[in-house]
Structure 1
């Protein structure tokens, strides 16, 4: 029996939810303009990160207000694809006219889309340079771009750096001045060996569950009246208001659960042995004189002391590889305050204070 052909849904770019916290200093041409682009984990809803990004905005405002600061920081965050029903068409599972079934987005889909979005924001977010006598000013790009990624968002951020590093001189991504990455509770190697990863990988490797788990999960959620689901999330799970709203939106969407499981299983296949070249971890010559590097580090890793999505032995092996890399510019911190992997639920301020750039 022939297998069914599949493809991903068309992306409605203008409908992908995002958060933007621009600097009030964006018109000050004497300042270096810095874009901080945030990439969420799975499930990929930026609504979970509002307290984290709001606190980051406050801290950066304080930094910008200092007389010795010559920078302006702009924060942008965007949903991963497939977690909002309006961001794709048609719905997942639809059989198109040509007999192809529409599937959720893969990890590779997310990476490719975010490479494009980093480029687009870099070239469109700033007001143009004023030009005397011209109807339109000259386009501006950011003087530097920092990526912050949480969980699988950290892996996506590293892949964007990798593709930027390998890009041809005149490709769109090559024009982006990537300078640093902040990687929070990163799942960057052998995720299937973690405690939660082992369970999800078992689901992936069990044919019946691989095909039906998303239907069963969605069917179970749909049994609950919305008011009871809200009570469960807020009172039993104890989620604060911002997280409860995001969770309820995720659970009651048509395709969100399917997208999360589909992408999660793909993470189990994809995030295994490191595949990046050693020079990815090094600051390139073009960046050597950059006065605004993150404490002389290209990458800053913030690991939990215990993380159900990161196996301790894989984390320790990764850290040892970075330690042995003589030219590598990597700073690594292991949290000692028992902050959970899903820090954005209740520990945003603590993590923001520990990882704020500059």
Structure 2
């Protein structure tokens, strides 16, 4: 199977209505950061949004592998830190937005951000950067909302898995040593053989095992995953990294201020795992108490839209037993795509 470093879904140019405003749905992956894991999720999400009459947009759904996880082309010469990844993701977002804007001469492109796992952390930092940039100068995008799926945004080192892997990640040269072992073990082994091994050890479906095989054989992927994970454990300790403007919890002095705040603060949606091995339940529950507008969105609000101007994040805990790594199985990907589409429709309807 072909493993791509970029996915871009859109209406074909002949059928596309140039009179429609464009909307970009921009996906930020977890770690390992291969966008191919999310193909079924993104394809199903695109299909749902295209079918909904509420979406009167020329829709673009885009995602790219995080830097260092490329399976083709030229990866960076050395692995990036978490902050380095945030910078590259911001550059990719503005690059694709500029490209789409040039197609119809628009000044700013409406954008929906989606982040999975550490991608949710990158999403929040991207929102913070965008808010600061738009106060100083014009930007080519307007971020309407952010959807954080199984988010790891705070105290990941205190999660069940975080407690186990942190001592290993802090060993000197651990990422480099594992990278060299993987390169020696898999360099000459055919992809199909590595795929079968990945299936046997992880019980993944064949498609996801194929992506994992491409990851294991990639020039920098294993080292990048471990190097970035080390910074995740160190850096994701401060829940106050982002201002109230990002969270939508800044009190408004007047109705006019509230309207302006609503324009500047994208609506955030958090979809948490019930017992996520990468997020301690106590961490999740503390963030819900501190930041959430509601724990579980009202069904009528999600299905039919709401004009409520509460700008705090909507936070929901999964009730379907979905795993943190939902993207490796088609059935799970489609369920999460349906949830994500409902959030996006609600946010777009509010605008």
**Structure 1 residue 221: deviation in Å?**
4.9
Judge conservation of contact 1:50–1:242 (CA < 8 Å) in 2: no
Structure 1: 5+ residue runs without aligned partners? 1-15, 93-102, 130-138
SS across alignment from 2:207: helix
Judge conservation of contact 2:195–2:212 (CA < 8 Å) in 1: no
Q: Which residue of 2 aligns with 1:158?
A: 124
Q: Which residue of 2 aligns with 1:22?
A: 10
Equivalent runs, 1:7-86 vs 2, <5 Å: 17-23=5-11, 26-29=16-19, 31-63=20-52, 66=53, 69-84=55-70, 86=72
**Structure 1 residue 223: deviation in Å?**
8.9
Q: Which residue of 1 aligns with 2:222?
A: 257
Match for 1:128 among 62, 80, 103? 103
Structure 2: 5+ residue runs without aligned partners? 250-257, 295-308, 346-351
Q: Tell me the TM-score normalised to structure 2 length.
A: 0.80
Deviations 1:119-153 (A, max 9, x none): 12112125634xxxxxxxxx225541110010001
Distance 1:34-1:318 versus aligned 2 partners, 3 A rule: same
Distance 1:321-1:197 versus aligned 2 partners, 3 A rule: same
Deviations 1:151-208 (A, max 9, x none): 0011101100011112254557x33101100000000001111122122211133336
Q: Which residue of 2 aligns with 1:348?
A: 333
The separation in 2 between residues aligned to 1:171 and 1:345, in whole angstroms, is 40
Distance 1:202-1:317 versus aligned 2 partners, 3 A rule: same
Match for 2:93 among 98, 109, 118? 118
Q: Tell me the TM-score normalised to structure 1 length.
A: 0.78
The separation in 1 between residues aligned to 2:188 and 2:74, in whole angstroms, is 25
Decide which structure has greater helix share. 2
Judge conservation of contact 1:56–1:352 (CA < 8 Å) in 2: yes
Is 1:205 the counterpart of 2:170 in the alignment?
Answer: yes
Distance 1:344-1:324 versus aligned 2 partners, 3 A rule: closer
